[in-house]
């Protein structure tokens, strides 16, 4: 892998904290394979400093764009001058490009990355119920992508009820034929998605009891930093498990094409 020079361009990935961020190991080689002298650099940015940091770095021609992860996606949405259709529905942004006039354009590619990864793994069956655990930025993106792809039955679970109710109302408004359930049950589930941050640390609770899932259920855990206890418990039962690394790899082409539209 080439080392960056003064002619290189940087895609910053912002998180807080940032110690778990491993995305550069996938992004920088991907850029190089496509002839781009781009490098991803992670940065721990406190939420209070996000706006100032983005606006300052956007002024540099060395900056190719920004990637946002927890907890910055909702705040990044508010910073953008324009946002794409997925971001408009979800109210979050995980990707920002810089236009020639300095304006910031944001979009959310979590849903697209998830859906393409699930399809590649033969996990997406529009006829069977999918349960998504988590109604934060990633959960909203995944639910929206599933609904747009023609899923017929969706269940959304979240520790706090208000975000789920709001998301369900938005989905029903755009996808009136989608059967949305908020009850906590798993017996009819064909795909279970952990869209929470549970699993980033070994001390985290499991997002749900793995024994409650049917034996033919597939599981997608968006955690990419480590092989979680949840994943191991499900794999030990013989269930198909896909982790967040696959989601990252499927976001890469979408995000890179988006950044290349900028200055």
Catalytic residues, which ones? 73
Tell me whether residue 238 is exposed, middle or buried, using C-beta atoms within 10 angstroms of its C-beta: 0 to 12, 13 to 18, 19 or more: exposed
Q: How far apart are CA 87 and CA 141, in angstroms?
A: 8
* Residue 128 Rama label (left phi>0; alpha psi -120 to 50; beta): beta
Within 80-134, where are the H helices?
A: 85-90, 110-120
The answer to whether the peptide bond before residue 17 is cis (omega within 30 degrees of 0) is yes
Q: Return the bridge partners of 153, or none.
A: 179
> Look-up: residue for tokens 């490009």?
97
Which of 63, 89, 60, 184 lies closest to 132 in space, CA to CA? 184
Token readout for 133 is 């655990």
């Amino acid at each position: 892998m080439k080392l960056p020079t003064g002619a290189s361009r940087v895609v910053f990935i912002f998180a807080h904290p940032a110690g778990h961020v491993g995305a550069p190991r996938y992004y920088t080689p991907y850029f190089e394979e496509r002839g781009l002298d781009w490098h991803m650099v992670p940065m721990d940015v406190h939420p209070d400093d996000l706006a100032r940091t983005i606006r300052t770095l956007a002024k540099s021609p060395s900056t190719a764009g920004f990637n946002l992860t927890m907890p910055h996606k909702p705040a990044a949405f508010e910073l953008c001058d324009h946002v794409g259709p997925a971001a408009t529905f979800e109210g979050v942004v995980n990707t920002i490009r810089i236009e020639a006039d300095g304006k910031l354009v944001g979009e959310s590619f979590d849903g697209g990355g998830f859906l393409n990864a699930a399809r590649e793994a033969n996990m997406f069956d529009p006829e069977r119920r999918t349960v998504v655990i988590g109604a934060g930025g990633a959960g909203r993106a995944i639910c929206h992508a599933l609904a747009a792809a023609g899923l017929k039955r969706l269940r959304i679970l979240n520790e706090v009820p208000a975000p789920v109710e709001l998301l369900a109302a938005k989905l029903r408004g755009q996808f009136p034929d989608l059967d949305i359930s908020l009850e906590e049950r798993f017996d009819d589930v064909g795909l279970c998605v952990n869209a929470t941050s549970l699993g980033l640390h070994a001390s985290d609770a499991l997002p749900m009891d793995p024994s409650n899932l049917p034996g033919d259920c597939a599981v997608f855990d968006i955690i990419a930093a480590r092989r979680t206890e949840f994943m191991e418990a499900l794999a030990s039962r013989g269930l198909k498990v896909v982790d967040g690394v696959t989601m990252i790899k499927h976001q890469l082409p979408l995000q890179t094409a988006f950044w290349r539209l900028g200055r």
